[in-house]
Amino acid sequence: MPDSGGILGLVINSFWPLFKAGLVVTVPLTLISFALGLAGAFLVALMRISKLKPLSVIAAVFVWIIRGTPLIVQLFVIFYGLPKVGIVFTPFVSAVIGLTMSQSAYNSEVIRSALISISKGQWEATKALGLTKFQTMRYVIVPQAALVAVPPLGNSFISLLKDTSLVATLTVAEIFQTGQQITAITYEPLVLYLEVAFVYLIFSTGLTYLQQFAEKKLGKHLVEQCN
């Protein structure tokens, strides 16, 4: 086992590769998957509350399957299973697809709950004013629902950052995968995995402050829009 100087040198030398993996892979993967997942979640939520039964059933089944099965299994099906039927994706694209579907399913419930929390009187009032359904959703319902949905969606965003560690199983060179590669060379799993946890903590903390800033700005904007 290396002496304290060797351990310190290992930590210093491995920090930049781990941090770089976070900047180049983990953060972009998180941002892309969350943005696509948010769009998907809104669509699924609208399907869930739709009066068209087929759309509601399709959305409900999608949420049931995704929420009822482990994310890592879904990732394996996409990356390792689909090639058996001729559908092949790169590791990064497979990771984006899997994380996006997960975010779409989980966040759709947040958005759906926020949408149905708006009283029916709001719909009736806008109908009396002659607004179309699209105008009602855009100018009345969505701004109010967003005030309710933003905090839990922010928490989901931070959780997604940590969930990206699962894509190491697809050989995506994010923080955890990079840590595994360094560990295989140095044979210092305790030191390296503690450092991996520390790097995740750095990014999680940074994104938490970003989330809080965005919530304040968006909340202020939505309140003004509602008024």
In terms of C-beta density within 10 A (0-12 exposed, 13-18 middle, 19 or more buried), how is residue 186 classed?
Answer: middle
pLDDT tens digits, residue range 104-132? 999 999 999 888 887 777 777 777 777 77
Give the model's pLDDT for residue 150.
Answer: 82
- What pLDDT, on the 0 to 100 scale, is given for residue 127? 74
DSSP letter at 209? H
- Enter the tokens of residue 92: 């990064």
176: confidence class by pLDDT, cuts 50, 70, 90: very high
What type of residue is 154?
Answer: G
Give 30-71 pLDDT, tens digit per residue: 999 999 999 999 999 999 988 899 999 999 999 999 999 999
Containing 202, the helix (H) or strand (E) segment is helix 189-226
- Name the H helices within 77-188: 91-116, 120-128, 133-136, 142-163, 175-186
The stretch 11-36 carries a mean pLDDT of 95
Q: HSE-up of 1 (CA within 13 Å, CB side)?
A: 5
Q: Which of 49-58, 145-154, 181-190, 191-200 has the lowest mean pLDDT?
A: 145-154
Q: Are 23 and 175 a contacting pair, CB within 8 Å?
A: no
Q: Which of 49-63, 91-105, 212-226 has the lowest mean pLDDT?
A: 212-226
Task: Give the per-residue pLDDT at 4.
Answer: 47
The answer to whether 181 and 169 have CB atoms below 8 angstroms apart is no
3-state secondary structure of 130: coil
User: How much is the pLDDT for 181?
Assistant: 95
Residue 120: enclosing H or E segment and its boundaries?
helix 120-128
| Distance of alpha carbon 169 from alpha carbon 161, whole angstroms | 16
Rg (CA), the chain: 21
Name the range with the highest mean pLDDT among 128-132, 138-142, 149-153: 149-153
Token couple for 160:
């997604």
Instruction: Tell me the CA distances in angstroms from 121 to 116, 127, 137, 140, 148, one per residue in order.
Output: 12, 10, 14, 11, 18
CATH number, domain 4-226: 1.10.3720.10
Domain ranges of the chain: 4-226
**Cβ burial, residue 208 (10 Å; 0-12/13-18/19+):** middle
212 pLDDT more than 50:
yes
